[in-house]
Amino acid sequence: MPGRPAPGSGQAPDGGGRVHLRRTVGHDPPGTGNAAPTRRCLERPQTADRTPLGGRRHPMTLDELNHLPPEAAARIFRNCCAAEPWVAGMVAGRPYRDLTEILACSRALWPTLDESDWLQAFEAHPRIGDVDSLREKYASTKDLASAEQAGTRQADETVLRRLKEGNDRYFDTYGFIFIVCATGKSAADMLALLEQRLGTPREEEIRNAAREQIKITELRLEKQFMAPRSPITTHILDLGNGTPAAGVGVTLTGPDDTGAPSAVLAQGTTDTDGRIGQWFEGPLKPGRYRLCFQTGAWFAARGQDTFFPEVNLDFQVTDSQAHYHVPLLLNQWGYSTYRGS
């Protein structure tokens, strides 16, 4: 989106519908300097909205997000991170064209937060209660593989006891709970990380926790707004500039009654990362498929000639349960492709 800051720039963009943080930033980003609290104009509630992510079974569409009233949008973002200046910035950053822009805005806002903001985000996480709660958290179930704090095997009782004791000691030492992006980590992994970080000076440790918090936040944003991946996806790289090719029109066709790839299944436009990932739910059936890229129109919009007014890539689907990623490496006078992953 024009005018949006580069990730990590710490600068809020100007213009309609963009981020405005009404305070002076007086510290360095996490891990790069000292964090000194600053006075803000924005008043913040002391507790986070704990409503489940929108109360929805499916990810929210960006069109829905962009048209929500500010208060409703704030509730959605607050479930991803409870730091109110971050929430306000994310609401003001609308409209978003894709998940990439949402993540870029989040990464630009994060370095502008101070210690009090980080603590507010930490306080929204539940504190570990007792060994029984840990046992339940790390029990072996099929669902745990996709949870934020998931263990893939039954945790040893000794590990659970040490983890509970270590969390209590951590809180007593630093005044905030142990924050770690725990996706895919077992109780033993968590214990090792906890013991490694215990004893770190507080000034350094709060930055460690802030870095883990933004990882958690991004995972929650992805879960909130990313639709399930299509069985057929694509990605275009403009080799002439060495950048993703955003804004290229693409049509996906599949086998008709005769087996020819003429049945239109989906149409889309590549996002700011040059990708189309959510445009066709399937199901697939074995047969011949085609991706048609409107390369002529894309180059013409940039005042450039091209030898290929469009690029058609035919490929064979043999496994209806598989994922097929078909990238396009493009310049004005040629192209190449392959089956990606």
Q: Where are the beta strands (DSSP E) in the chain?
A: 232-238, 243-244, 249-255, 261-269, 275-276, 287-293, 311-317, 324-331, 334-337
Ramachandran sector of residue 85 (left: φ over 0; alpha: ψ -120 to 50; beta: rest)? alpha
Digit-coded pLDDT (tens) for 50-82:
333 333 445 788 889 999 999 999 999 999 999
Q: Which residue has the tokens 């033993």?
A: 188
Superfamily of domain 232-337: Transthyretin/hydroxyisourate hydrolase domain (2.60.40.180)
Distance CA(338)–CA(341), nearest Å, equals: 10
Distance CA(187)–CA(140), nearest Å, equals: 11
Lowest mean pLDDT among 25-29, 93-97, 226-230: 25-29
Residue extent(s) of CATH 2.60.40.180 domains in the chain? 232-337
Q: What is the pLDDT of residue 116?
A: 97
Q: What is the pLDDT of residue 145?
A: 33
Q: Give residue 277's Cα distance to chain centre.
A: 14
Annotated binding site: 235, 275, 338
Q: Which residue has the tokens 């990623």?
A: 325
Q: Of 232, 30, 17, nearest to 105 (Cα)?
A: 17
Angle between helices 70-78 and 84-92 (to 10 degrees): 130
Q: What is the pLDDT of residue 296?
A: 96
Mean pLDDT of the chain: 79
Q: Kindly tell me if the per-residue pLDDT of 17 is higher than 80.
A: no
Annotated binding site for substrate: 235, 275, 338
Q: What is the pLDDT of residue 269?
A: 93
Higher pLDDT, 63 or 47: 63
Q: State whether residue 132 is helix, strand or coil.
A: helix
pLDDT > 70: what percent of the chain? 74
Superfamily of domain 131-202: Oxo-4-hydroxy-4-carboxy-5-ureidoimidazoline decarboxylase (1.10.3330.10)
Would you say the pTM of this structure is higher than 0.75? no
pLDDT band at 33 (very low <50, low <70, confident <90, very high): very low
Digit-coded pLDDT (tens) for 128-174:
656 666 666 555 333 333 344 444 344 578 888 899 999 999 999 99
Q: What is the pLDDT of residue 126?
A: 82
Q: Which residue has the tokens 């270590």?
A: 166
Residue extent(s) of CATH 1.10.3330.10 domains in the chain? 131-202
Q: Taking residues 304-308, report their average pLDDT.
A: 95
Q: What is the DSSP letter of 90?
A: H
Q: What is the pLDDT of residue 192?
A: 93
